[in-house]
Structure 1
Amino acid sequence: MGKAMRMRALLGGLGLMLTVVAADVLAASEVRSVRLWRAPDNTRLVFDLSGPVQHSVFTLAAPNRIVIDVNGAQLAAKLDQLSLSNTPITGIRSAQRSADDLRLVLDLSAEVTPKSFSLAPNQQYGHRLVVDLFDRDAAPSVPQVASTAPPVSRPVQASVVPGSTPTKLPPVPGGQRDIVIAIDAGHGGEDPGALGPGRKLYEKNVTLAISKELQRQINAEKGFRGELVRTGDYFIPLRKRTEIARKKGADLFVSIHADAAPRAAAFGASVYALSERGATSETARWLADAENQSDLIGGAGNVSLDDKDRMLAGVLLDLSMTASLSSSLNVGQKVLSNMGSITPLHKRRVEQAGFMVLKSPDIPSILVETGFISNPNEAKKLSTTSHQQALARSITSGVRQFFQQNPPPGTYIAALRDQGKLPSGPREHVVSSGESLALIAQRYQISLASLRSANSLKTDVIKVGQTLQIPATALAGQP
């Protein structure tokens, strides 16, 4: 065979190989499984795929149906094994319109608003197609890819989320309201969070169990009320978690998580508050977002931004964020100290990071890492009811101590303090960035000299993270 003929044969063989490879690349992806979760205001369907696909979604009426066309896909999952109870879906049908065009039809018992998007692979899952069906009165939220004034907590019953109605907090006997703690169980639904050894223990289940126990214990404290952000196994976008807390009139937002690390030996609980950088970026986002111009900053003054110029609105937001951050550091340190009595600590001081769920400018917020689920010993403890109860007790104790020293005006706990019926002890203030000793003295309605004396300060120099004792001579009822 001549050289030219051998070359043509080689090229021909290569062409055949490329044709086979191209055909393989263009082969339809498989819908390998379908998962479903019901949330209070929506139903989420997740289609697990062997590769990326194109899709479209449209609605049909009389009867109500959702049609999902998936281009470049074939069905390899059984749809009749899904539990459709307590959802608006009465049935799911499928048809292979061509070799690689799949149509799925959802039969509905009620009208819904669909929203769909694709997700790239992560550590737990491959390619996914997510279809959210929002109940008629529920507004669709922007999907997020998963991986919750003075330095006291303030009443936020006047705070408004665009399109929502402010929560009216019910009074307790004597006309005083409860202090509301929003409890956010991290992750949920198709986002399991970190996985324990053997991939049998999911963070989402541990956090929900601890959160429910924390709610039970907080509700047992007179003058307090715990509100769960997530009540079951479903996913909530991160920013929506803080919106839910605001609608519930939260005085404090507590997000419950379990840590993980590549090294199985890593151990210990942690508490996080928002970082300075995260606070600055969130203030800028609020100012840039036209929606937020009509929002209220929680507090006794019910300060609205929509009638303020940009500079004044920025100052008010910055003051509110600074106050929330100071309270977050304060309550976080109390929670951390109490947790240290029942479990090892990863760090003995409150850490700071830019977690999305900590970014409320009007609600003090902390994120509690209850331990390392990636550590076999800690994972075993986290899965037990007794340890979950102990963790919840330590968090409850820290929250109670903080609010006994810093009760929001108009609450039952504030009334007890004013009547001298709370445990005596100095109030504390954790210094945050931008604060001066003079500003702190002004906030607590005390003299600069008495603040210096109570803390044995020879100068007015203070450091971020420093804990100051506030003299008991502060005016009753003042923040």
Structure 2
Amino acid sequence: MRVKGIRFEQLLLAAMLLAALCWNLANASEIRQLRVETGATGTRAEFLLDREGGYKLIGLRNPDRLVVDFPESRLGRGLSLPKAAGVVKAVRSGQPEPGTVRIVFDLASSVAVLKPRIEQSADGPRLVLEWPGDGVADVQPAPKAADAPAPVRDPIAEIAKAAATNAPAVAAAGDKTEQSATVSQLPGTVATGVPTRIATGKPEPVIPASQAEQAPVPAPRRSMQPGMRPLVIAIDAGHGGQDPGAHGLNGTREKDVTLAIARELARQINATQGMKAFLTRDTDVFIPLGQRARRASANKADIFLSIHADAAENRNARGSSVYVLSTRGASSQRARWLADKENAADVIGGERVRVVDNTLKSVLLDLTQSGNMKASEDAASHVLGGLKRVGNNHKPEIERANFAVLRTSDKMPAMLVETAFISNPDEEKRLIDRDFQRTLATAILDGIDDYFSRQPPPGTLYAARAQARQDGGVASVGAGGSP
């Protein structure tokens, strides 16, 4: 009888362990997707989860790696590990203990990861890791022994290494450090960590020999120095509060889309060395049109972008458009109609609209804006060029109309960006997609970067780069013996 009792207890214990194992498997969080991509702000890794759970970061050196452990988790069926991108040389997975998924990122350099954050999406929560930089690994192919130049000290790499050593996200403690957190505790705000490398997101162009004499000399890599000021990029999320803007067929509101894109653009700008974002609104509030650019001016903005989502009776209309202010009539009937529609926002918001029918005031407005019009058109052309890679632009050239939101922007280049048509069912879906919002923001940032690289305000990092290019050009001409 004693033997039978022991066997019964053993069977009961085994059944309990089996039930616990089945419960753990059934309730373990699942990593559905893992992506790694590189862009203007650096390298980004995204974990798509079925629900929120815990995680642990472990920084390893010699060689540089970042380990992410997910307790009580499992890899989704059919999940494939991404290929190398940016600073990430390879991605591996493992299981250090039963029920724990381990993802290892092999890194090309000791760039510190920014503070992780959670982003909610229609597919589920996304755990986001970002390494700042220009998305290109520091490691370059070794030159041939016969052509190998003398070693050159790289101050940027040294700064990055020092920042990585002292970064709070993966603080050095011997050769191994850890950071633990719960995904549900991650704030939904943007990361504003300072990059350790310049984030341009643009490879050096290949210049034909026939154009070599006219081509600018690439500037040495530079970082922010004492005395420099950041470029202030003012981002105005259109509509807000009691003014919802246009509606999509599925109920998407323009004011929500513009705020989401504005926040993503601000995140990318704040992760780019030499720039700082200013949002005219970061919540669902109504701001009169005349106050938006004034807020930007009060914060010493260098450029003003008002973000919108277009609408039309034709549900097939699609693409992006960029508009600048014109006090002498609109460039098209469509531009005039759009300006009238956008200018009605103050009426919807409850503001009293003053009709200015005064020739002197009209002339003065035209004079104050005319000096800034060329800069606005130049900047808008660069942004429109950046948006061309998102898809077909609705208009191939910039448009002009009398937009009230741009009238008080006489101290800085200003434009209104219609990102896509919310009235188009396909584009409505894209506008609420995080990936598309990120793509739009990157395209706009590329245009801003192009513009300020050619028109850098004094005292900025972009001005220092331009001066370095000029100094390099002079040195190059002198070395050649003739201009």
TM tier, smaller:
0.3 to 0.5
TM-score relative to the length of structure 1: 0.44
TM-score relative to the length of structure 2: 0.43
